[in-house]
Chain A
Amino acid sequence: MTVHNIRHGDASDGAEAVGGRLSRVDGPAKITGAAKYAVEQQLEGLAYAVLVESTIASGKVRAIDTNAAEAAPGVLQVLTPDTIISLRTAADWFGTPPPDKPYCPLARDISFSGQHVAAVVAETFEQAVAAAALVKVSYDETPSIVDLSDAKAGDGIPIDAMTKEWGDAQGAFASAPVRICAAYNTPREYQAPMEPHGLIARWEGDQLTVWEPSQWLDGMARTYAEWFGVPFENVRLVSPYIGGGFGSKALALSHGAVAACAAKMLGRPVRLVMTRPQTFTGYGGRAATRQTVTIGADRQGKIQSIVHRGVNETSMDGMWVEPLGSVTSIMYATPNFSSRQNVVRVNSVMPGAMRAPGENPSAFGIESAIDELAYEVGIDPLEIRLRNYAEQDPHAKKAWSTRQLREAFATGAERFGWARRTSEPRSMRDGNQLIGWGVAAGTYPVRRAYGEAIVRILADGSVEVESSSIDMGQGTYTILAQTAAETVGVRADDVVVKLGDSRFPRAGVTGGSRLAGVMTGAVYKAATSALDQLVGLAISDPRSPFHALQANTLVVANGRIGSPRGDGPDVSIAELLKSVGRDHIEATGDTMPANSTPEDRYKNYTTIAMALPHTEGDYSRHSWCAHFIEVRVDEDFGTVRVSRVVSALDSGRLYNPKLAESQWKGGIIMGIGQALLEEGIVDRRHGRIVNNNLADYLVPTNADIPDIEVISVGIPDLHSSVLGGKGVGELAIVGVAPAIANAVFHATGKRVRDLPITLEKLI
């Protein structure tokens, strides 16, 4: 968790300051294998748990025969709904008070294939695997609803909170001279992080320690505490590194409850790691979605009305809403608008958050539809976007805090060479390859929340930062080191950032691209107050060499303290602390409102109820981007290869451009996978995902990815965060799939409205 003494970057190139291109400080530990992930902890007496999952999609468990498993070598216990200890239901992530009923993480009532029904704990992992295969479960099966296209699925439940309407959308559509209407579908997609989900749970009395990859230590610790009815303080979550989450590691899940129950019942630490196939049913990926987008426009392509209807699937007993009108309602200026959404229950695990939930499928709809409109009216797809440019938030009717989307279009088009595009489909080719150029925009709201951090200046002059936030590869360790270094006046090398322990000062969820903005703000505040204390001591302590100077301020830079004019003493921070007899200085900083109560703080860090709306106050805050993508489609084979990507992005001020660019590229790569490869395929008779492994669920390989050019067009946005940044991590995936679909249309003349765009859809 602690990254020590690693030289990174060269102070002379400014990499160490906020905004510098410092390389990831945790990189060497990860590359050399020194980084210890949660389930790699070596604990005395560790036992191993393996899950048994339902093989039907709907029905009831009739009986579980555990005799053979119990008799198998090394088996310590077999947990079933009947034998596992009873837990209390925990509040959801909004903190809504839960129903007062027990919670059992092993199911008797089956609502999807792959639901946990039993678990075997043994001395070794192999013994647990072997015994788990001996657990015999019999079922009373009932008919299931497989997916959105199931005849029994129906229209679903209207979600009124998702309704957005202004003007007379239907009327304006009916009278518009140009009308387009099309349906766009996205399949189940999976986060597929390299590190599968898993944990080690250990009880000492009524104190629980959980080592688990987590995007939200405090939220998950609260859930464990509520399940077991122990105080929040009794649960410690440790999550020093996370091997990818993409939204899937923010909540404590039923497998975690099983492991913690097993540890408690057994009085031994228990490790449980999902197999790769289990990661497809143990928690939810992105919900499958259906949208219809109708646009009414005049002959110049100016939009008069947008009518949008969306549906996403959810599970039988959980409610997941994937906000499908989120981009539809803000991307273009339209006088009349209507968006509504239903949610349909199917026999699947409850879907969950996956990189840009809502915005991602929403953009696939509207950004494909606007391309269709462009062809309908015969206007360049870039030009039609500019003609309908929204000068303010069309929904909230507020000014944008910053919106560099016009700049993104201009810069991206210029670098891509968009002006050379011939508009006719199938008009560009190279031998058997049809070439297509597509454009699409993306956006993601600035989600703001609060965080706290401790900054300590230690006796040796080094600086320590602590926070319970996490780094799943996005660069928290690095940018917090840069923030503390710049604020205190030391080298980034001399800052040690400690994350991933719920004992540290608290942080909310690492999701919604909010963490960098939140935590740089908190560290900036803590570091500023640590610096004030340091300078205060130097000026006022009689033992300080600066005491005689009678200065009213001092300068700290590169770990040394001096007077602003350079006269008088020049001592290191270590020397000063020694002279005044202090072994450290410590300051806590948080971004909570000053009058916050302890209850407010607890709620803020353990639920998402207190996140600030992005339209709070006078402004509407979002990141923006424009993707320009070239594809080559083999005319005979229908294979699509992305050959060029230029994306211009507005994430406001970048705390570290190198890391932001990596995040953007990662989002674009994931978008290429979404557009061309990713799809959970369901056996309709069994309601089961059959391509539940990484040989059959395809994510892009290096060979699928061309050079990607990303260009920052952002400017500091102080309405969005303390230091001027907007969200980075989720933005870039939004709009990639429609840009590719639009390029495929340009190449082939075929409009593919169902993702992914696989070869059989084009031959």
Chain B
Amino acid sequence: MRDFSYLRAASVDAARQAAALPGAMLLAGGTTLIDLAKCGVAEPETLVDITHLKGLNGIEVSERSAIIGALAKMGHVADHADIKSRFPAVSEALWQAASAQIRNMATIGGNLMQRTRCPYFRDPANFPACNKREPGSGCSAIGGVTKGHAVLGTSDACIAMYPGDLAVALVAFDAVVHLGQSQVPVDDFFLLPGTTPDREHAIEPGEMITAIEIPGSASARRSTYLKIRDRQSYEFAAASAAVGIEFEADGRTIRDLRVALGGVATKPWRARAVEDALKGKVLEPDAVRAASLLAVEGATDHGANHYKIELAPRVVARAILKMGETA
């Protein structure tokens, strides 16, 4: 580990200013950052500690929306009664993420900013080629071990999977990221790798996430997060789905449907094709299964991750049918 300086920001503005300097990084719960520093991926010159900033850990839930401060802990948000009742998918996504210890440390802002688990990205000593780490250096994953890599949203430059759970639920319900005064829809906040996989978020040095806002909706209220993995707990998703549904008055016809995928794409992946195919239709198992196949339209695999293309539609279908059952 290299020497670095450590600075406790006195205010959000001070934090932004400090973070704008070259080599500076914000430090929240540290569960991603310290880990990456140990692997030799993150080499901050200055750590700007924001954990003690006041007023950033609130959770305000109203009829209209939920506003969650960037420093709210994953565990607190997961356990918040109003989040559980009005945004079950958000609570469930958090509960199934990481471990209890990590959820108690980690913040919502940090969670959105977590990096990929691509093993090549995390091992610079052995795999110098990684476009995400070193633009233009190549991609060690392509042609290597790809079991955990993305099948959607990939490019020739990078196939790294976005590993988080929370953002999948956020993208399904049109959440917005607050960067102080400015606001960015979550779907736009996460960038596709394209030719610049080093740029993952629509955030500039000197900007800081202050909160996320999730609009309240009937579909958010009737939602779930289904996460599939070999290990029952403490593992990233092989495939996951956030699903919310709203029925017409008849209780069978789908008025609104939200579907997003995790564990299979380079960013939290909204599956609008599935939504569009089912909106206005009566919820019926065969139709749901057929429509769910649209979730992986355009997917390409790299061998060992092919199973994700099979798995993801099944996860989507199960989640939609589960939400239908609870009518």
Q: Is the CB of B1 within 8 A of A126?
A: yes
A585 interface residue, CB < 8 Å from B? no
**Chain B residue with the shortest CB-CB distance to A130:** B2
CB of A288 to closest CB in B, whole Å: 16
Question: Which residues between 506 and 542 of chain A lie within 8 Å of chain B, taking CB atoms?
Answer: none
Q: Is the CB of B229 within 8 A of A636?
A: no
**Among candidates A432, A641, A682, A763, residue contacting B232 with C-beta atoms closer than 8 Å:** A641
**Among candidates A55, A686, A763, residue contacting B311 with C-beta atoms closer than 8 Å:** A763
Question: Which residues between 648 and 690 of chain A lie within 8 Å of chain B, taking CB atoms?
Answer: 676-677, 681-686, 688, 690
B125 interface residue, CB < 8 Å from A? yes
Query: How many chain-B residues does the 8 Å CB contact rule pick out?
Result: 31
CA distance A648 to B318 in the complex (A): 38
**Chain A residue with the shortest CB-CB distance to B99:** A701
B144 interface residue, CB < 8 Å from A? yes
- Given known contacts A636-B318, A681-B147, A701-B234, A133 and B125 CB-to-CB distance under 8 angstroms: yes
Q: Is the CB of A700 within 8 A of B231?
A: yes
| Cβ contacts A696-707/B at 8 Å (1 or 0 each) | 101011111000
**Chain B residue with the shortest CB-CB distance to A704:** B232
CB of A758 to closest CB in B, whole Å: 5
B40 interface residue, CB < 8 Å from A? yes
CA distance A126 to B127 in the complex (A): 23
Q: Is the CB of B314 within 8 A of A637?
A: yes
**Chain B residue with the shortest CB-CB distance to A699:** B231
Q: Is the CB of B1 within 8 A of A683?
A: no
A44 interface residue, CB < 8 Å from B? no
B230 interface residue, CB < 8 Å from A? yes
| Cβ contacts A737-760/B at 8 Å (1 or 0 each) | 000000000000000000010111
Question: Which residues between 253 and 282 of chain A lie within 8 Å of chain B, taking CB atoms?
Answer: 277
B326 interface residue, CB < 8 Å from A? no
CA distance A391 to B143 in the complex (A): 53
List B contacts of A55 (CB < 8 A).
Answer: 125-126
A558 interface residue, CB < 8 Å from B? no
CB of A353 to closest CB in B, whole Å: 26
CB of A274 to closest CB in B, whole Å: 14
Question: Which of A73, A113, A636, A685 neighbours the largest number of chain B CB atoms within 10 Å of its CB?
Answer: A636
Q: Is the CB of A133 within 8 A of B40?
A: yes
List A contacts of B125 (CB < 8 A).
Answer: 55, 133
| Cβ contacts B210-238/A at 8 Å (1 or 0 each) | 00000000000000000011111111001
Q: Is the CB of A702 within 8 A of B233?
A: yes
**Chain B residue with the shortest CB-CB distance to A125:** B1
**Among candidates A73, A682, A686, A759, residue contacting B230 with C-beta atoms closer than 8 Å:** A759
- Given known contacts A133-B125, A685-B143, A703 and B117 CB-to-CB distance under 8 angstroms: no
**Chain B residue with the shortest CB-CB distance to A432:** B318
CA distance A62 to B318 in the complex (A): 57
CA distance A681 to B148 in the complex (A): 12
| Cβ contacts B14-25/A at 8 Å (1 or 0 each) | 000000000000
**Among candidates B126, B233, B318, residue contacting A703 with C-beta atoms closer than 8 Å:** B233
A419 interface residue, CB < 8 Å from B? no
Q: Is the CB of A695 within 8 A of B117?
A: yes
A544 interface residue, CB < 8 Å from B? no
**Among candidates A129, A682, A686, A704, residue contacting B1 with C-beta atoms closer than 8 Å:** A129
- Given known contacts A685-B144, A691-B119, A703-B232, A760 and B1 CB-to-CB distance under 8 angstroms: no
Question: Which of A55, A688, A759, A760 neighbours the largest number of chain B CB atoms within 10 Å of its CB?
Answer: A760
Q: Is the CB of B145 within 8 A of A690?
A: yes
CB of A488 to closest CB in B, whole Å: 45
B82 interface residue, CB < 8 Å from A? no
**Chain A residue with the shortest CB-CB distance to B317:** A636
List A contacts of B318 (CB < 8 A).
Answer: 432, 636-637
List A contacts of B123 (CB < 8 A).
Answer: 277, 690
CA distance A700 to B235 in the complex (A): 10
CB of B20 to closest CB in A, whole Å: 26
CA distance A130 to B4 in the complex (A): 12
| Cβ contacts A617-637/B at 8 Å (1 or 0 each) | 000000000000000001011
- Given known contacts A126-B1, A759-B238, A696 and B307 CB-to-CB distance under 8 angstroms: no
**Chain A residue with the shortest CB-CB distance to B235:** A698
CB of A136 to closest CB in B, whole Å: 11
**Chain B residue with the shortest CB-CB distance to A72:** B2
Q: Is the CB of A698 within 8 A of B230?
A: yes
Q: Is the CB of B120 within 8 A of A690?
A: yes
Q: Is the CB of A677 within 8 A of B231?
A: yes
Question: Which residues between 40 and 79 of chain B lie within 8 Å of chain A, taking CB atoms?
Answer: 40
**Among candidates A113, A133, A637, A701, residue contacting B231 with C-beta atoms closer than 8 Å:** A701
**Among candidates B2, B144, B307, residue contacting A763 with C-beta atoms closer than 8 Å:** B307
A639 interface residue, CB < 8 Å from B? yes
Task: Give the top 6 A-B pairs by smallest Cβ distance, nearest first.
Answer: A760-B307, A703-B233, A703-B232, A690-B119, A636-B314, A701-B233
12 contacts between A and B (CB under 8 A): A636-B317, A637-B318, A676-B230, A685-B143, A690-B144, A701-B233, A701-B234, A702-B233, A703-B231, A758-B230, A759-B230, A760-B311
Chain B interface (Cβ < 8 Å from any Cβ of A): 1-3, 40, 117, 119-120, 123, 125-127, 143-145, 147, 228-235, 238, 307, 310-311, 314-315, 317-318
